[in-house]
């Protein structure tokens, strides 16, 4: 049966048909219709600018609440991330025309000849005219594919990690720079947090304007970052690379507690700036991008509680969930001290490696390492607004009709 406005399929397993911890195989076939869009439009799933973008193109197991036993079927909104997913192992083969390249989560195993998936190809004697791109991943929260006949590549290394930048013709300068910026971010974050968990990281140009979007082992950068918004490219990469730790390695519910990964990914750019430009530059970043932006929002009467679901925010999502949350981490680091704060991030990474954390989980570690005084900081900046008010009950979002 279908649930959650036809976005979820309920599969019934007969009672007593399985013993505890016994594996089960569920096979599904589905057809996905992908629409073409103008490349200037923000498009997560679709075809635009010569690139087919396929995030969450397949059925994925829903997350079950450990306390209530309920399946979490919240629908993603336009702002924020689309889904809450748990880590899994992926073995994916994409069959495409021979002149197309495929970038995806995980590592490429082989590219081999394959018959075209057309009625004529049912004849076993038909010549192989397409290519099968076979990819596998370690634990990953989802699997994404980008397919194009325009992609060019530039690659470098961050230690033993291969960093590949995929870009379109005419974007060579930004495409090569993207690989270098991403490699620098991997080196910094692997040193400060815990090592990056994969053998490869892909940086992919896609149809999301001047924004970025994180996926396991890969992140997407909007076309405009390779052109008119190229001055934002490095900072955007520093943020998206940090999501390999805060979203993928350590998971959380991005629909109901989006600040938990976005705030840490945003604050990680402070460390990137500090290591590449010095402490003074990093402090300017914190003051201008987070503190000043939040103060301007507060002065307009738009301050809000950070620890809320995506649906609670009205026009102030990025300033609160990214900026105010990042500024909280800046103050937390100052209160705890550099060594204790980095110890917190490392222990957080290790304790919830490919698991899911909650704000309470993070704060339990923070109080254990930094003492009870950090709770006061948390209550002031995360669970209350500037006037000391707690979160309001969100206005219910109408359920889409099937």
pLDDT confidence of residue 346 = 99
pLDDT confidence of residue 251 = 97
pLDDT confidence of residue 82 = 65
The span from the CA of 70 to the CA of 247, in Å, is 22
Long-range CB contact pairs, 75-78, < 8 A, 24+: 75/4, 75/5, 75/7, 75/397, 75/400, 76/255, 76/310, 77/255, 77/310, 77/311, 77/397
pLDDT confidence of residue 276 = 98
- Give 71's strand partners: 64
Task: Point out the residues of the chain with pLDDT beneath 70.
Answer: 76-80, 82, 118-127, 392-402
Q: What is the 3-class SS of the chain, one letter each residue?
A: CEECCCCEECCCCCCCCCCCCCCCCCCCCCCCCCCECCCCCCCCCEEECCEEEEECCCCCCCEECCCCCCEECCCCCCCCCCCCCCCEEEEEEEEECCCCEEEECCEEEEEEEECCCCHHHHCCCCCCCEEEEEEEEEEECCCEEEEECCCEEEEEEECCEEEEEEECCCCHHHHHHHHHHHHHHHHHHHHHCCCCCCCEEEEEEECCCCCEEEECCEEEEEHHHHCCCHHHHHHHHHHHHHCCCECCCEECCCCCCCHHHHHHHHHHHHHHHHHHHCHHHHHHHHHHHHHHHHHHHHHCCCCCCCCCCHHHCCCCHHHHHHHHHHHHHHHHHHHHCHHHHHHHHHHHHHHCCCEECCHHHHHHHHHHHHCCHHHHHHHHHHHECCCCCECCCCCCCCCCCC
pLDDT confidence of residue 125 = 59
Contact 344, 336 (CB under 8 A): yes
pLDDT confidence of residue 395 = 44
Residue in the block written with tokens 């209160």: 335
Domains defined along the chain, listed by start: 33-60+88-140+142-246 (3.30.2010.30), 259-383 (1.10.390.10)
pLDDT confidence of residue 394 = 47
Residue in the block written with tokens 């460390």: 271
pLDDT confidence of residue 343 = 99
pLDDT confidence of residue 401 = 35
pTM: 0.92
pLDDT confidence of residue 331 = 97
Average pLDDT taken over every residue of the chain = 91
- Give 384's strand partners: 390
pLDDT > 70: percent of the chain: 93
């Amino acid at each position: 049966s279908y649930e959650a406005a036809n976005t979820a399929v309920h599969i019934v397993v007969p009672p007593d048909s399985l013993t505890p911890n016994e594996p089960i195989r569920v096979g599904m076939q589905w057809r996905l219709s992908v629409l073409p869009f103008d490349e200037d439009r923000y498009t997560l799933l679709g075809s635009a600018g010569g690139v087919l973008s396929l995030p969450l193109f397949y059925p994925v197991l829903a997350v079950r609440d450990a306390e209530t036993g309920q399946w979490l079927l919240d629908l993603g909104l336009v702002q924020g991330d689309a889904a809450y997913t748990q880590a899994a192992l992926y073995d994916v083969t994409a069959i495409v025309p021979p002149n197309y390249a495929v970038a995806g989560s995980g590592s490429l195993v082989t590219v081999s000849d394959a018959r075209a998936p057309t009625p004529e190809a049912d004849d076993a004697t038909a010549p192989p005219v397409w290519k099968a791109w076979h990819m596998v991943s370690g634990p990953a929260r989802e699997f994404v594919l980008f397919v194009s006949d325009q992609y060019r590549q530039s690659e470098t290394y961050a230690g033993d990690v291969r960093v590949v930048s995929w870009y379109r013709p005419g974007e060579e300068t930004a495409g090569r720079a993207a690989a270098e910026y991403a490699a620098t971010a991997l080196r910094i974050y692997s040193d400060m947090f815990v090592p990056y968990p994969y053998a490869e990281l892909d940086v992919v140009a896609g149809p999301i304007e001047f924004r970025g979007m994180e996926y396991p082992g890969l992140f997407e950068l909007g076309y405009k970052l390779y052109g008119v918004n190229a001055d934002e490219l490095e900072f955007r990469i520093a943020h998206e690379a940090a999501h390999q730790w805060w979203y993928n390695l350590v998971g959380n519910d991005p629909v109901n507690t989006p600040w938990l990964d976005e705030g840490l990914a945003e604050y990680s750019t402070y460390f990137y700036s500090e290591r590449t430009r010095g402490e003074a530059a990093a402090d300017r970043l914190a003051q201008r991008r987070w503190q000043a932006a939040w103060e301007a929002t507060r002065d307009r009467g738009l301050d809000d509680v950070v620890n809320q679901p995506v649906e609670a925010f009205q026009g102030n999502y990025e300033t609160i969930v990214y900026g105010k949350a990042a500024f909280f981490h800046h103050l937390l680091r100052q209160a705890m001290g550099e060594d204790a704060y980095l110890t917190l991030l490392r222990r957080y990474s290790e304790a919830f490696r490919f698991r899911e954390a909650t704000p309470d989980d993070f704060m339990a570690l923070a109080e254990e390492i930094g003492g009870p005084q950090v709770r006061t900081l948390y209550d002031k900046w995360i669970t209350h607004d500037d006037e000391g008010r707690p979160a309001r009950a969100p206005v219910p979002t109408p359920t889409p009709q099937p």
